[in-house]
Structure 1
């Protein structure tokens, strides 16, 4: 898909608007190869083809999680990054509530050379809207 950029003065205005809204770092956190559709994320997770890490915070986990998801709050991601496999043959997906935090959180594993990590677009809010199964977290 080819995207046409608006004229430079409009791009400048758009960039300023993004910066003012505090969204620029999130919007630029990852490229298209780093994102997986929510449908594909669910299929891969349920078939055991990927590890799903729910990076929402503990209070958010209490609302329900995908069965079998590993719970790793974003606030603990740096300290607990050893829990994320770095084996290129082991696909890993990050999921949050929408995709804003998971796309931004992708920077941490990437900084440490983890090329096998991507994020699910749509997050658990999209999962819940679709009526997909959710369970109470263990513990």
Structure 2
């Protein structure tokens, strides 16, 4: 008890960070369209999910998830017809951090796609999870 009295600010910080983690966990449980890198890998392997990278050409060339199809966000609405053949399969959208791919998810939902997911945290989280990147041109 004496330790807590002398270090109350550390205890308060630990409690606040724990509460934030619980809040974030509860928030992410409600949104099933957000996938972690592990969940994305399972979906790719188990259900042959198609991966769409919506970053710009230079970013894509610098490294992308193996077998990802490249369609920049600015071109997605115009090129969504290219994805019609994947409508019965899950589609995972990715970008650098997950923000552009979230916008892409909304675009494809409007176009009638139902099995669409966003790679939470984008390629930053993918790399942090130790997943592979490819620099091959498609």
Residue equivalent to 1:19: none
Segments of 4+ in structure 1 off by > 6 A? none
Q: Could you state the TM-score of these two structures normalised by the residue count of structure 2?
A: 0.70
What is the distance in 2 between the residues matched to 1:137 and 1:48?
Answer: 24
Give ranges in structure 2 of 5+ residues lacking alignment. 1-29
Residue equivalent to 1:69: 68
Give ranges in structure 1 of 5+ residues lacking alignment. 1-30
Corresponding residue pairs, total: 109
What is the distance in 1 between the residues matched to 2:52 and 2:42?
Answer: 15
What is the distance in 2 between the residues matched to 1:51 and 1:126?
Answer: 19
Q: Deviation string for 1:95-122 (max 9, x for gaps)?
A: 1111111112211111121112121112
Deviation at 1:43, TM superposition (A): 2.6
Q: Quick check: 78-87 or 47-56, which moved more? A: 78-87
8 Å CA contact retained: 1:87, 1:116: no
Residue equivalent to 1:121: 120
Structure with greater helix percent: 2
RMSD, aligned CA: 2.0
Q: Could you state the TM-score of these two structures normalised by the residue count of structure 1?
A: 0.69
Residue equivalent to 2:129: 130
**Larger gyration radius, structure 1 or structure 2:** 2
What is the distance in 2 between the residues matched to 1:117 and 1:133?
Answer: 22
